[in-house]
Amino acid sequence: MLDKEIISCDKCPRLREYSENIAKIKTKKFKDWSYWGKPLPGYGDENAKILIVGLAAAAHGGNRTGRVFTGDESGKWVIKALYEFGLSNLEYSTNRDENLVLRDVYLTNAVKCAPPKNKPTKEEILNCNLFLRKEINYLKNLKVIIALGKIAFDSICLAYNVKLKFAHGQIYDINGVKLIASYHPSAQNTKTKRLTWDSWIDIFRKAITMLNMED
């Protein structure tokens, strides 16, 4: 039901127009693709203990493939890290027809549509926060949230009605749920080495360690 509610959302005309236009114009590399071009729901294990929250649907990633963190550079980093810890059956994911199975993990974005220049407005973030709160409530076994970037981090804080400071690697406790802040694995961060593979994997190692402590 939540997936259908997200997909049918039309609260943000600017985002809907942009996502649909991208789906029509496409890019030369993906000219033969039938783009998703709609709001993008989360994906993963309904019994997940870990929730990973990104910024928004990537214009030629999730907005194209119809699945979060699928078909773009950020998705490569996310899925490969999950694979290394045995939380994904695939090392890479390029389309939603692949049988990607996630264990103990749910993936979503703070903003469900692709925003121009990856910059959603405050109103758009607020509109989507309702869905993020519903996703958090849906995950009854949730123990750890990994926030990818400041927008995702602030959106989680908004969902929980708390004020916290973003810093890569920082861990907070919110009502018994651990919140881990991480730089987003965007090309802007990974190619400049602001986020290295080792520091990225360390984020997931912290999450797994906290789950083991819970058990």
Q: Dihedral angle at the C-alpha atoms of 179, 182, 185, 189, nearest 10 degrees?
A: 160
The three-state secondary structure class of 169 is: coil
Residue 4's identity, in one-letter code, is K
Q: Which of 23, 51, 27, 25 is nearest to 35 (CA)?
A: 23
What does DSSP say about strands 171-174 and 177-182: parallel, antiparallel, or unpaired? Answer: antiparallel
> What is the per-residue pLDDT for 71?
95
Q: What DSSP assignment string belongs to 123-145?
A: HHHHHHHHHHHHHHHH-TT--EE
- Quote the crossing angle between the two packed helices 197-214 and 73-84, to the nearest 10°: 50
> What is the per-residue pLDDT for 213?
72
pLDDT category of residue 211 using cuts at 50, 70 and 90: confident
pLDDT category of residue 214 using cuts at 50, 70 and 90: low
> What is the per-residue pLDDT for 1?
82
Q: Is the pLDDT of residue 177 over 80?
A: yes
Question: What tens digit of pLDDT does each residue of 59-99 get?
Answer: 999 999 999 999 999 999 999 999 999 999 999 999 999 99
Question: What tens digit of pLDDT does each residue of 12-57 get?
Answer: 999 999 999 999 999 999 999 999 999 999 999 999 999 999 999 9
Full domain range(s) for residue 112: 2-214
CA terminus-to-terminus distance, the chain: 31
Question: What tens digit of pLDDT does each residue of 91-141 get?
Answer: 999 999 999 999 999 999 999 999 999 999 999 999 999 999 999 999 999
We report the CATH number of the domain holding residue 190 as 3.40.470.10
- The pair of structure tokens assigned to 26 is 């496409």
CA distance 185 to 165: 19
Q: Is the pLDDT of residue 215 over 70?
A: no
Q: b or e along 27-61 (b: 16 or more beta carbons within 10 Å of the residue's beta carbon)?
A: eeeeeeeebbbbbbbbbbbeebbbbbbbbbbbbbb
Q: What is the mean pLDDT of residues 157-173?
A: 98
- The pair of structure tokens assigned to 48 is 């997940």
pTM: 0.96
How many domains are contained in the chain?
Answer: 1
Write down the mean pLDDT value for the chain.
Answer: 96
Strands (E), the chain: 43-44, 50-56, 105-111, 144-148, 171-174, 177-182
Q: Which of 7, 2, 43 is nearest to 137 (CA)?
A: 2
CA distance 108 to 132: 8
Q: Is the pLDDT of residue 212 over 90?
A: no
The three-state secondary structure class of 147 is: strand
